[in-house]
């Protein structure tokens, strides 16, 4: 696999080649995922749930993300690695600039921040200083207490228009990739068509430029509730490497996600 960077991802969108992304938190899985052709590894703050056992992502710290980013980078020297900025680590511009350093120095190629409008100056400041930014809209789990649970977002016309407007504003501010989580497929299609940057979906239908899942969901080992948009590829294949290569090929061919993994 050619080494991935923002220019390669941009080209994949233009050529309509689907982008695959998985969360990874350690060196062994990072290496295995990279070997199976997964283009992007995400050190997600979902680690607060699947590794640490919390019921949401809020307890995760910068040190947690930096530690796991170092591990992922150690296992996959050439991988394109995105590190999540955890809850309240980008509350102010000053905090953001302080907190982004350990993540980039741990080996991240890009950082991901949840939210819309309020992030515009932050995104500009980061990209100007050499830090590529991934946006994250829709169900942004750090706002679970505002939403009153992990609920599908953008169901009303008004909410849908607002998410599209925010996606366009984030792109204008400088994000080079966008994650859309748990929104209706029709809205994901509008946003993917409207943006020139690649859009990665999770619970956003098969219309985005790529797909991301939490690795524990692919292997059916998440504790507690397993989201409707995930698929247990280990059960289907019986072997971890085959599970990952099947995920990759099903995303590439558009088989995954099917209607049953999507919201309307
Ligand atoms: N194991 C795991 N997988 C994930 O995808 C994930 C995490 N953890 N932790 C961080 C966030 C939290 N996420 C979640 C968690 C639950 C739902 C969920 O229960 N969704 C309902 C939709 C409810 C509705 O219809 O509004 C579902 O049926 O999937 C969604 C996203 C996604 N991320
Ligand atoms: C679910 C993905 C998009 C994420 O942000 C995470 O794993 O933390
Ligand atoms: Mg996250």
Query: Which domains occur in the chain, in start order?
Result: 6-261 (3.20.20.60)
Q: What confidence tier does 158 reach under pLDDT thresholds 50, 70, 90?
A: very high
Residue 33, SS3 per DSSP: helix
Q: Which atom of ligand 1 is nearest to the CA of 263?
A: 25
Q: Which atom of ligand 2 is nearest to the CA of 114?
A: 5
pTM value is 0.98
Verify whether ligand 2 is closer than 6 Å to residue 46 (CB atom): yes
Q: What confidence tier does 258 reach under pLDDT thresholds 50, 70, 90?
A: very high
- Of 132, 70, 68, 122, nearest to 97 by C-alpha is 122
Verify whether ligand 2 is closer than 6 Å to residue 180 (CB atom): no
Say how far apart CA 86 and CA 129 lie, in whole Å: 20
ipTM over 0.90: yes
Say how far apart CA 132 and CA 140 lie, in whole Å: 19
Using a pLDDT cut of 70, give the percent of the chain over it: 100
Annotation marks residue 181 as catalytic: yes
Testing ligand 2's pocket by substitution, the residue of 45, 216, 229 carrying the most ligand atoms inside 8 A of its CB is: 45
- Asked if 38 contacts 113 with a C-beta cutoff of 8 angstroms, the reply is no
Contacts 24+ apart (CB under 8 A), 177-180: 177/6, 177/9, 177/82, 177/110, 177/132, 177/134, 177/135, 178/134, 178/135, 178/136, 178/137, 179/112, 179/134, 179/135, 179/136, 179/137, 179/212, 180/137, 180/138, 180/204, 180/208
Whether the predicted pLDDT of 1 surpasses 90:
no
Say how far apart CA 18 and CA 9 lie, in whole Å: 9
Q: At what angle do helices 93-105 and 62-75 cross, to 10 degrees?
A: 30
Residue whose CA is at the smallest distance from ligand 1 atom 30: 150
- Per the residue annotation, which of 17, 181, 239, 250 is the catalytic one? 181
Residue numbers in the known binding site for Mg(2+) are: 45, 84, 114
Residue numbers in the known binding site for 3-methyl-2-oxobutanoate are: 45-46, 84, 112
Residue numbers in the known binding site are: 45-46, 84, 112, 114
Tell me what the mean pLDDT of segment 14-36 comes to: 98
Whether the predicted pLDDT of 201 surpasses 80:
yes
Q: Which atom of ligand 1 is nearest to the CA of 44?
A: 10
Lookup: tokens for 13:
């969108």
Which string of b and e fits 137-175 if b means at least 16 CB within 10 Å?
A: bbbbbbebeeeeeeebbbeeeeebebbbebbebbbebbb
């Amino acid at each position: 696999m050619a080494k991935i960077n923002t220019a390669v991802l941009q080209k994949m969108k233009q050529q309509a080649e689907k982008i695959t992304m998985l969360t990874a938190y350690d060196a062994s899985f990072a290496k295995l995922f990279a070997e199976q052709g997964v283009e992007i590894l995400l050190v997600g703050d979902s680690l607060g749930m699947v590794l640490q056992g919390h019921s949401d992502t809020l307890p995760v710290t910068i040190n947690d993300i930096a530690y796991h980013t170092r591990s992922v980078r150690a296992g996959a020297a050439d991988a394109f690695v995105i590190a999540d900025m955890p809850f309240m680590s980008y509350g102010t511009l000053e905090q953001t600039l302080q907190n982004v350093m350990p993540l980039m120095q741990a080996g991240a190629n890009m950082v991901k921040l949840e939210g819309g409008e309020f992030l515009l100056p932050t995104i500009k400041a980061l990209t100007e200083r050499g830090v590529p930014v991934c946006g994250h809209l829709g169900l942004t789990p750090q706002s679970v207490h505002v939403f009153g649970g992990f609920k599908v977002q953008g169901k009303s016309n008004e909410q849908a228009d607002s998410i599209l407007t925010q996606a366009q504003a984030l792109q204008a501010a400088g994000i080079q990739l966008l994650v859309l989580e748990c929104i209706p497929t029709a809205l994901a299609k509008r946003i993917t068509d409207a943006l020139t940057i690649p859009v990665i979906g999770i619970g956003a239908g098969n219309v985005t430029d790529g797909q991301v899942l939490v690795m524990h969901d692919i292997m059916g080992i998440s504790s507690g509730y397993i989201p409707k948009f995930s698929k247990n590829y280990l059960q289907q294949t019986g072997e971890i490497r085959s599970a990952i290569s099947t995920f990759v090929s099903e995303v590439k061919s558009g088989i995954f996600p099917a209607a049953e993994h999507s919201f309307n």
